[in-house]
Structures are given as C-alpha cells and as structure tokens.
Amino acid sequence: MAKSIAIIGSNGRNSSAWINAFLARGSHVKNLVRDRSKSHPRSGLKFVTFDLNNYSSYESALSGVELLALVTPPDPLQTERELALHLYRCLHGGRRQLRPR
C-alpha cells in the first residue's frame, strides 16, 4: 500500500526533488500550501490549504498523513514551527522526520 505524504513548502524549488522521488515510489502526495492560487497543477498531487501559523488548519490538512516533510528556506520562526508540528504529531499518533545526515 502506498504511503500518504504531506509536503510543506511544495511550491518552492527545494521540494521538486522530494515530490519526484515520492511520486516515483507510488506515494500519495499532498501539497500543503498557504495560497492555492500560486500552485501549479500536477498529476498525482493534491493541493491542501495549510498555514504553519494557523494551528487550526493542522488537523484537516494532516488527516491520514503517514509522513510529513517540511521543505522551507531558513526563517526566523522555523524552530517554533518545527516544534509545533512535532508536538502535533506526538499528540496525534507519532512522528517521523526526514533529515539529511
């Protein structure tokens, strides 16, 4: 069975390699974006409105997701956002991280 994966930052350049790899493995990929009008439709991808600063958007956007990838450029609030996502995943069924070694 294919994994359900959500990618935050999927409209950026950094995420295209991740998206291609996940789709090649047969994964179901959700693009979590703030503004869907800036998204470029692509076969196999589902666009879901999501805002890291709006915690009420987490539950519906992350429902059914088995793996969450955060692909963003450096930001002063990055640590706070990563901690909020980590806490959410811990409270709602575990967590997984994708980090280069």
Radius of gyration (C-alpha) of the chain in whole angstroms: 13
Q: Is pLDDT at 5 greater than 70 in this prediction?
A: yes
Evaluate if pTM is beyond 0.85.
no
Residue 101: what pLDDT? 46
Cα 58 from chain centre: 11
Report all structural domains of the chain as residue ranges with CATH numbers, in order of start. 4-91 (3.40.50.720)
The amino acid at residue 78 is: Q
What separation in angstroms does the CA of 16 have from each of 45, 72, 100?
Answer: 12, 12, 16
Please give the Cα distance from 30 to 50 (Å, whole number): 11
- Tens-place pLDDT, residues 58-84: 888 999 999 888 876 667 777 777 788
